[in-house]
Amino acid sequence: MNYVCVSGGADSTALVLLMWERGEDFEMCFSDTGAELPEVYWLLPRLSKLVGKPLHVVSGGSFFQHLVSYGYMIPGPRIRWCTRLLKNVPQDEFFKRMNADRVAVGIRADEPRRLNRLPRGGISFYYPLAEVGMDKKDAIAMCKKYDMLNPIYEWRSNLSCFCCFFQRKSDWLGLLKHHPTLYAVAEEWEKQAFATGKQAWGWNQGYTLEQLRKADQRQLKLLPEPEGEPCLICSI
């Protein structure tokens, strides 16, 4: 059996729709971090129903569970425990348990440098979007064709956990506007991280979520954007 990694983002959704249009046999796998945006839980059941393919949900425990066990040590570019524990491990274990033949991943043709970053654990990954030359614009068009574009793109640059440390300032502010309770949760976790004294960083470099929330337009321009980009498996 072939499987498709899905996240609720435009790329993996377009991948599912492409393979469905081609009449391929596959099942979907979603790794639930426990820190997903509500829109993800709304979209994935609709997608599964449209294409008539099973959706498997796996978990390596919740984000909050691991955050507490690490003494509120917030993940960052150099310590990405979230990607490994909440995405890679549970999915890899599932694919091995199911003896997956191949696993399709939503890497597009316009991001070739990512093609060599994902293979791991002896699992055979392949990239249908890249193979057919589909770029970001094409992926979004495919999603819109079937009314399957996640509404988070109306206010967010990419799909990831609501507390992803790779978020841009505009993403955090979008979270504050559209899901203020989730913003408050991330802000409280950050305060707990500093209170433990076990680390010296929060979600962002150079400012806290409280400072971002209270900043005026002049101050916002002075706050730095994050270095790097969301982990591949979290943003496809």
The answer as to whether 228 is a domain residue is no
The answer as to whether 181 is a domain residue is yes
CA distance 51 to 176: 33
Strands 55-58, 26-31: pairing is: parallel
Query: CA angle, corner 232, sides to 231 and 236, nearest 5?
Result: 125
Confidence band for 230, pLDDT divided at 50, 70 and 90: low
Among 123, 157, 191, the domain-final residue is: 157
Strand order of the β-sheet with 102-104 is 55-58, 26-31, 2-5, 102-104, 125-126
Q: Do 115 and 187 share a domain, yes or no?
A: no
* Per-residue pLDDT reduced to its tens digit, 9-39: 999 999 999 999 999 999 999 999 999 999 9
Q: Do 147 and 186 share a domain, yes or no?
A: no
Q: Do 142 and 192 share a domain, yes or no?
A: no
Q: Do 54 and 92 share a domain, yes or no?
A: yes
Q: How many domains does the chain have?
A: 2
Q: Do 7 and 115 share a domain, yes or no?
A: yes
Q: In the chain, what percentage of residues exceed pLDDT 70?
A: 92
Q: Do 9 and 107 share a domain, yes or no?
A: yes
The answer as to whether 121 is a domain residue is yes
50 contacts 148 by C-beta, under 8 angstroms: yes
The average confidence (pLDDT) of the chain is 91
Among 157, 179, 194, the domain-final residue is: 157
34: containing domain? 2-157
Among 102, 136, 157, the domain-final residue is: 157
Q: Do 206 and 113 share a domain, yes or no?
A: no
Q: Do 175 and 201 share a domain, yes or no?
A: yes
- If we measure between CA atoms, which residue out of 77, 79, 67 comes closest to residue 226? 77
CA distance 93 to 134: 29
CA distance 25 to 224: 45
Q: Do 94 and 6 share a domain, yes or no?
A: yes
Q: Do 153 and 218 share a domain, yes or no?
A: no
The answer as to whether 232 is a domain residue is no
CA distance 165 to 76: 6
pTM flag (> 0.85): yes
Q: Do 151 and 192 share a domain, yes or no?
A: no
